Amino acid sequence: MAKRTAIIDLGSNSVRMAIFERTSRYGFHLVKEIKSRVRVGEGAYGQNGTLQNEPLERTVSILKEFHNLCKNLNCHKIICIATSALRDAPNSKNFINQVRHEAGIGMSIIRGTKEAEYGAIGAINLLPTLKEATTIDIGGGSTELAKIINGKIVDTLSLNIGTVRLKELFFDTKKSTDDLEKFLEAVISKTPKHFHSSTVVGIGGTLRALSNAIMERMNYPLKTVHGFEYEIAKHSSWIANIANSTVLDLKEFGFKKDRLDTVREGCAIFHKLILTLKAEQVITSGAGVREGVFLNDLLRQAHGRFPANFNPSIRSLMDRFASNPKDDTYIAKCACKLFDVLAPLHKVDDSCKSQLHISGKLHSIGRSLSFYQSHLHGFYFIINNLNFGFTHKEKTLIALLVKTHHNKLPSFSDLSGYEDLLPEGNVVGWLSFLLSFAKCLNIDFSKPKIEFYYKNHTLHVKSDGSMQLAKEAVKKLVKPASFAIAFR
């Protein structure tokens, strides 16, 4: 497979391109993302779906620039898909030929159900485990649903309602809200009941923009929308207010300027859908159709799933930034052994051990930027890049352990602002101490064979070597509880 792959997604409203770079067999990261609001479907819904000349020319021009961008970034593999607007268009074949001839890009039109499948592939592989959920991807011309049970896609559905379609058929023509409500009811009410779910996964630009606005409204401490969760009951009336607002009032809801012309339509669709599906919780996915297309290509020999216990974010961060991965893995294992041995003392739930292990593997990545303040560099790397497969609570804990593993225990200022995402009590203090202790034991990078046991309020550390440097380093640590440490 190519080192760099570009995925282009042409929708009714925007054309977007994402360029992914592989760092190892399954490790990858995003190196470039760009979009243009070409509105290829503009004017088509009132003309029996026929694509109009002006938006077609805009689109071809942008695709030429996309192709040049790929060349300049040494990206030689391009996969381009087109969705709703071209599915509906009687002149789509002529346009595809024009794109191939003028822009040098081959384009495939995918079915609505395939679009839903790609979005679900991205969500299944790049969000925490989804036992039961329905994905919702609101586009310009259509809305796609996928039913997921135990991490597998069991059904897909494409509805002919989208933001641009509603804008041209209802909002631009000043039709009444009653007409819009009847139209949405007629389409959405036909959704089979097995798509009903208490959990929905929001995919696509409209629902990401909505989640970003909710995060601003909540003063949420993280900026990453992927994995953000919210309860519908707390925000349902606010979403309805957006759908019923005027264009001039939309700025008050905190949306970016480029979302103002279609966000009402998107919220109208979404609000009706979550009521119909009886949804209670939304999980936002920053991964959608483009990621699904990329993963479908990347994992084509692996039945569309990553190997068990594999995480692409961890792998990519270690591929790029871990200078001593064997030492990092050793420290991670030592920290987990200490966790088990000291369990009667710290009483931290076993579920936190996974985050401790991961923080051990990633604790040194900040050094790739600079030795000085490497804890802070690692924290920023993780809080902004450890996105796939983790909840925001898990990611925040891992990032803060990397930030705070030093001689002192975490301070109030270290944790300030993140309290709602962290476990209660002194969990962070204990885990930070365990990571710091494990790091001290490998201070000379020798990866010594060590045995631990806890008896009579004393942690015994047994090794064949002298470990004098480790002893000196451990003496400097502030302990989260009163107990002795003895080296043998």
Spatial neighbors of 323 by CB under 8 A, at least 6 apart, are 364, 367, 368
Distance (Å, whole) CA 82 – CA 90: 14
- DSSP letter, residue 50: P
* Topology of the domain covering 113-291: Nucleotidyltransferase; domain 5 (3.30.420)
Tell me, what amino acid is at 372? Answer: Y
Reading the block at residue 81, the tokens are 């898909």
Predicted confidence at residue 1, as pLDDT, reads 67
Q: What is the CATH number of domain 4-109?
A: 3.30.420.40
Q: Cite the residue boundaries of each domain of the chain with CATH code 1.10.3210.10.
A: 312-487
Rounded (5°) CA angle 40-44-45: 125
pLDDT at residue 126 in the model: 98
Written as tens digits, the pLDDT of the chain (488 aa) is: 689 999 999 988 899 999 999 999 999 999 999 999 998 888 877 788 888 999 999 999 999 999 999 999 999 999 999 998 888 889 999 999 999 999 999 999 999 999 999 999 999 999 999 999 999 999 988 999 999 999 999 999 999 999 888 888 887 777 777 888 899 999 999 999 999 999 999 999 999 999 999 999 999 999 999 999 999 999 999 999 999 888 888 888 888 887 878 899 999 999 999 999 999 999 999 999 999 999 999 999 888 899 989 999 999 999 999 999 999 999 999 999 999 999 999 999 999 999 999 999 999 999 999 999 999 999 999 999 999 999 999 999 999 999 998 888 888 888 899 999 999 889 999 999 999 999 999 999 999 999 999 999 999 999 988 899 999 999 999 999 999 999 98
The pLDDT value given to residue 197: 98
- CA distances (Å), 286 to each of 66, 226, 270, in order? 21, 4, 17
Bridge partners (DSSP) listed for residue 455: 458
For residue 239, which of 268, 212, 199, 215 has the smallest C-alpha distance?
A: 268
Segments of the chain assigned to CATH 3.30.420.150 = 113-291
Sheet of 484-487: strand order equals: 450-455, 458-463, 484-487
What is the amino acid identity at position 333?
K
Look at residue 125 in the predicted model and tell me its pLDDT.
97
CATH number for region 312-487: 1.10.3210.10
Helical packing angle, 232-243 and 263-276, nearest 10°:
140
- Provide the b/e sequence for 285-298 (b: ≥16 CB within 10 Å): bbbbbbbbbbbbeb
Q: Where in the chain is the domain with CATH 3.30.420.40?
A: 4-109
8 A C-beta contact, residue 46 and residue 119: no
Instruction: Return d(Cα 326, Cα 323) in angstroms, integer.
Output: 9
Round to whole Å and give the CA distance between 148 and 126.
14
Q: What is the pLDDT of residue 449?
A: 95
DSSP-derived secondary structure for 414-444: HHTT-GGGS-STTHHHHHHHHHHHHHHHTTT
Is the Cα dihedral 176, 180, 181, 185 positive or negative? positive
